Chains A and B, each alone.
Chain A
């Protein structure tokens, strides 16, 4: 069985809060766009041809509905079709894609439709935060008085202490993401705040959430849906003449609680080159990598995906990157954990303009979580869809923004993760 998994089509029903539209309706909007793009695809054929569906949503609590995917499957008219839901916190949508790709590679299914969504507006915002926070350990994390914002903030405070990152670096990441989103018709930031560029000063004016993080440096809470139609090589070629391939997938994990990482014996010695990058002024824990500064799960998932895709030098071979950035500092950490630079040097890639839209390695072209939005179960699927449109030369048409098409990109890397990096997934796309 061939290893190649093709993306036949992708779609997004835009991110906003509130959307008021039901999950199943947003999913139908997304799947309808796929049907428009692939005239030969018939939902009625799924059961006959042995196709499957993989559903992605994070929380049963946000709308007090368990098994929401049964409603979606029903609403799309897919009765009988083999399907199930993948759930792993923030990693849910990337894991759904990885899962679907592995289904296809197993030879079991020629085609898998991935659909992801989230509704986050029903509860008061503090209860939404609570519903997200109980993805942390409810005996040991959540009841410590820490919000999720606070956990990520402690991780960033340590990056500042150990690597010398600054508040300005975080604000610059935020500016990059927001300004990248301004031509994205699926993005929440422009839907709510208009189409003008923001500056570092605007970020500083946004309210402090949990030092060092300010409002514009944190993911939005969003509603939205997205879908991807994946297929094996033969079927992909039948259904589209403009395919993009998922050439590599990976996933990894870490401790539930971030606080258990500095001396975690499971990490010790795994990445000696990273353990050796350590400043003299900070006492070295037993397992210096990842400690709180980096994300071991991201490293494991990325190296697995690179190996799977035959990538030797990610910095040279990857054309652009979408990082799952619930907080601005994760972009900088991610660049390191994904081997685009050495540990502690993520800030240099930012400062040198490398990850800017016109830089050598553009990052967060969609605007990502702080600007495109973060309807959890949809987030990474939408980031993969945006990247697929870039690689298949469709962004001009799909966004209505021809100026945003990169010149001949070859490969993209998209990652997602959940918790404080408790679980992560990654995919490599190529033309």
Chain B
């Protein structure tokens, strides 16, 4: 027998431990404020009566130290500007998101091997987010695409840049880009069009509504975050 540790740090971008420790202390469950409200309540709308409630504003939060396990190579690849997937040498399936073990039932969870992937793919499906995560709200309307990276048997969700939301469509060929300042998560990856996009068919009413929706979304962004 052998002991597995201790761990050797090969390379690191340290985080500001002090700042987060302080934040964790701040998020210490003690109420920061409160309010007393009155509202009608009861089990059905036929049975309501006024009730008084005390609501406390109670914070908590923390920093997590997360390992990407045996698929770490994918994210190490992103830090180096490369795209990796895994391939099963038994059945030939190629995974991106990678799997360290093949999930083809015939392969009995055999270990896969790393392969470098081309930074090209095709849109399997798409959406236009008028409400994105708060950290990305300034990018609304934000195109989201499920991309089948060339040679893989999976779709990787990512956002898309440099495209008119009106034009994004299933089948569009895309380039996969890796952020110049990668942080080490999937958001480092994004798509851009690799060909002239052809818009999906929309009726005149649908197109009018679509354009109004985009306009409203952009106006909100401008109002909230100021002009670019």
Contacts and interface: CB of A to CB of B under 8 A. Distances in A.
A223 to B, nearest CB: 10
A256 to B, nearest CB: 10
B154 A208 contact: no
A19 B48 CA distance: 12
B97 A257 contact: yes
A157 B201 CA distance: 12
B125 A154 contact: yes
A211 B213 contact: yes
B43 A29 contact: yes
A260 B42 CA distance: 44
B130 A259 contact: no
A161 B213 CA distance: 20
A285 to B, nearest CB: 8
A139 B129 contact: no
Contacts of B44: 12, 14, 185-186
Nearest to B130: A208
Contacts of B13: none
B75 to A, nearest CB: 9
Given A141-B157, A144-B156, A185-B45, A158 B186 contact: no
A98 interface: no
Main secondary structure of the interface of B (DSSP, over half): mixed
A153 interface: yes
A190 interface: yes
B146 A292 contact: yes
A239 to B, nearest CB: 22
A237 interface: no
B127 A157 contact: yes
Given A140-B97, A260-B97, A147 B133 contact: yes
Interface in A209-256: 209-212
Contacts of B154: 257, 259-260, 262-263
Contacts of A154: 125-127, 144-146, 157
Given A147-B131, A161-B200, A208 B186 contact: no
Interface string A193-211: 0000000000010011111
A33 interface: yes
Interface string B38-79: 010111111000010101000010000000100100000000
Nearest to A184: B45
Contacts of B91: 265
Interface string B124-144: 111111111110100000101
B93 A143 contact: no
Interface string B143-167: 0111010000111111100000100
A136 to B, nearest CB: 10
Contacts, number: 175
A26 B155 CA distance: 42
A20 interface: yes
B206 interface: yes
B84 to A, nearest CB: 14
Interface residues of B, number: 59
Contacts of B104: 265-266
Given A21-B51, A29-B43, A263 B93 contact: yes
Interface residues of A, number: 62
Contacts of B115: none
A73 interface: no
B23 interface: no
Interface string B201-215: 000001001100100
Given A12-B43, A140-B97, A400-B46, A211 B142 contact: no
Contact of B106 (A12, A33, A265): A265
Interface string B101-129: 00111100000000000000000111111
B158 A155 contact: no
A262 B159 CA distance: 20
Given A145-B133, A150-B144, A292-B146, A30 B157 contact: no
Nearest to A136: B157
A123 B155 CA distance: 32
A199 to B, nearest CB: 15
A301 interface: no
B146 A211 contact: no
A155 B45 contact: no
Given A147-B131, A260-B154, A21 B41 contact: yes
Given A143-B186, A186-B44, A20 B125 contact: no
A88 interface: no
Given A144-B159, A186-B44, A207 B130 contact: yes
Contacts of A204: 209
B37 interface: yes
Contacts of A139: 68, 71, 97, 185-186
A23 interface: no
A13 B51 CA distance: 16
Interface in A363-386: none
Contacts of B153: 262-263, 286
A191 interface: yes
A89 to B, nearest CB: 18
A407 interface: no
20 contacts: A12-B43, A19-B41, A20-B53, A21-B41, A26-B43, A29-B43, A64-B60, A126-B134, A143-B185, A143-B187, A144-B157, A144-B186, A161-B200, A185-B44, A210-B144, A211-B213, A259-B124, A262-B154, A264-B103, A265-B91
Interface of A: 11-14, 18-21, 26, 29-30, 33, 64, 126, 130, 137, 139-141, 143-147, 149-151, 153-155, 157-158, 160-161, 166-167, 185-187, 190-191, 204, 207-212, 257-260, 262-266, 282-283, 286, 292, 400
Given A13-B43, A190-B45, A260-B154, 7 more contacts: A14-B45, A20-B51, A29-B42, A153-B144, A157-B125, A167-B209, A210-B127
Interface pairs A-B: 3 shortest CB-CB: A259-B155, A153-B127, A263-B153
